[in-house]
């Protein structure tokens, strides 16, 4: 693989551009490059994958994770917080928490003054989520997903769990996808004890319509949702999805939508309910 092709596949220019376009301090930004370097060396010689990220020791399983983490502060600070000024965010529900990247980022941005409930159904990577959040008493984790309780399995590529999905076709490499048992629920309040949230984040790799169709509604001010684009196989139209959200959670305005086009696999949308 040529150098230019490797750079393109790792999205180095894009990720670093996002990294520098955040309110993080210059010291935080510069120091992180040293952490990336030491993490890569450690992984190469000891097979132990961990990195210091925003003051947290984060254990991971994908060698590209230290680079992909650079996009999360932009997502939190620019896509969410910059568009929600005047709305106090004190309770967050993270559906599809993976190894804790989003939750640790928004927790850092809100200076630990937030309760975060994280739901992650993949039991084969749940130990990483537990390790990464164990030092945060305000982050609670649950080895559960949200959706139809009749579904008992999901697919993921070991080492690339971030794209795990109920649908095998949406995992990174279909031929190498591993099937693993999961448990899904449709009433979040029975699990977390919370009937109200200020922000709900949903990232479920193509399962968003079925999840929202199954979920028992609860009160939330904001929803940050990864939506399947036309470049990904999906069983719904965007108009159906938006109508479903309104029927379940009420009328809403769109505060932010990320770039998308006819070949996009997904895009992010931030919704404020009236």
With respect to residue 93, please indicate whether it lies within any of the assigned structural domains: yes
Tell me whether residue 122 is in a domain: yes
What pLDDT, on the 0 to 100 scale, is given for residue 174? 65
Q: Angle 12-20/3-10 helices, nearest 10 degrees?
A: 50
18 domain residue, yes or no: no
Dump pLDDT digits (tens) for 254-270. 999 999 999 999 999 99
Comparing 43-57, 172-186, 204-218, 244-258, the range with the smallest average pLDDT is: 172-186
Percent of the chain with pLDDT strictly greater than 90: 86
Average pLDDT over residues 83-111: 97
Q: Is residue 3 part of a domain?
A: no
The percent helix, strand, coil of the chain (3-state, each to 5) is 40, 25, 35
Is residue 171's pLDDT more than 90? Answer: no
Q: Which of 49-53, 119-123, 168-172, 192-196 has the lowest mean pLDDT?
A: 168-172
* Contact present, 244 and 251 (Cβ < 8 Å): no
- Flag whether 166 is in a domain: yes
Domain count, the chain: 1
Per-residue pLDDT reduced to its tens digit, 6-49: 545 568 889 999 999 999 999 999 999 999 999 999 999 999 99
CATH number for the domain that contains residue 203: 3.40.50.150
- Residue 206 lies inside a defined structural domain of this protein: yes
Q: SS3 of 81, please?
A: helix
With 50 as the cut, is the pLDDT of residue 3 above it? no
- Cα–Cα distance, 269 to 79 (Å, whole number): 9
CA distance 196 to 92: 9
Lowest mean pLDDT among 80-89, 108-117, 156-165: 156-165
Candidate from 46-50, 103-107, 171-175 with smallest mean pLDDT: 171-175
Domain span at 177: 71-273
Tokens coding 148 = 């139809």
pTM: 0.94
Distances (CA, A) of 166 to 99, 147, 148, 226, 234: 17, 10, 11, 15, 12
């Amino acid at each position: 693989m040529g150098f230019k092709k490797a750079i393109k596949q790792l999205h180095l220019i894009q990720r670093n551009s996002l990294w520098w376009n955040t309110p993080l301090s210059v010291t935080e930004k510069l120091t992180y490059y040293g952490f990336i370097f030491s993490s890569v060396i450690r992984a190469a010689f000891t097979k132990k994958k961990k990195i210091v990220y925003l003051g947290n020791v984060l254990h991971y399983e994908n060698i590209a994770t230290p680079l992909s983490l650079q996009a999360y502060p932009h997502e939190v600070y620019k896509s969410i917080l910059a568009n929600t000024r005047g709305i106090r965010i004190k309770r967050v529900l993270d559906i599809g928490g993976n190894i804790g990247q989003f939750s640790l980022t928004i927790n850092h941005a809100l200076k630990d003054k937030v309760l975060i409930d994280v739901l992650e159904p993949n039991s084969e990577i749940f130990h990483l989520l537990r390790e990464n959040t164990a030092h945060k008493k305000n982050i609670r984790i649950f080895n559960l997903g949200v959706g139809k309780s009749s579904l008992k399995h999901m697919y993921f590529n070991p080492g690339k769990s971030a794209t795990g999905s109920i649908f095998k076709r949406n995992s990174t490499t279909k031929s190498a996808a591993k099937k693993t048992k999961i448990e899904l629920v449709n009433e979040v309040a029975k699990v977390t004890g919370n009937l109200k949230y200020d922000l709900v984040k949903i990232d479920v790799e193509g399962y968003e319509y079925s999840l929202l169709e199954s979920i028992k509604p609860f009160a939330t001010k904001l929803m940050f949702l990864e939506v399947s684009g036309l470049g990904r196989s999906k069983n719904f139209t965007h108009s159906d999805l938006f109508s479903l959200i309104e029927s379940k959670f009420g009328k809403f305005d769109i505060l932010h939508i990320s770039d998308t086009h006819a070949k996009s696999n997904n895009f992010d949308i931030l919704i404020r309910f009236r």
